[in-house]
Amino acid sequence: MKYYYKITNNFPGGLFRNVKKVSLLDECPFPHEFFIQISKSFPVITNSSLNNKTSQKKKNCEQKFFSVVEFSHLTELYFDEAHDDYIEQFLFGTKTFLS
């Protein structure tokens, strides 16, 4: 399988070594830990889309409590109807590292 679509907060985890394209979709907020799980489950992600209009909870907690999420291969990221919190999550570099 090369893609995994419509991943929600209920994603059970697992290791998907060949999946390069994912879409994240939910009406409930994605916690920071969700992105840690996604980065570990899909180590070679190159393309991702995010659709979630709900603000993140605990976004103003001290930065030192957050583990930095790393997406080593991500080259395309689409924010389809995403709350600004998720844009900050990926683009400010304090919670997520894109290399």
> DSSP letters of 8-63?
-TT------TT--EEEEE-SSPPPHHHHHHHHHH-TT--EEEEE--SPPSSTTS-G
- pTM of the prediction? 0.88
The mean of the pLDDT values for the chain is 89
Is residue 86 pLDDT above 70, yes or no?
A: yes
* Contact status, residue 61 vs residue 89, Cβ threshold 8 Å: no
Q: Give the whole-number percent of the chain exceeding pLDDT 70.
A: 90
**Nearest of 55, 49, 58 to residue 25 by alpha carbon:** 49
Which residue range is the domain that position 14 belongs to?
A: 3-98
Cα radius of gyration (the chain):
12
* Contact status, residue 55 vs residue 30, Cβ threshold 8 Å: no
Domain count across the chain: 1
Per-residue pLDDT tens digits for 10-54: 999 999 999 999 999 999 999 989 999 999 999 999 999 999 999
Q: Rounded distance, CA 53 to CA 63, Å?
A: 23
Is residue 64 pLDDT above 70, yes or no?
A: no
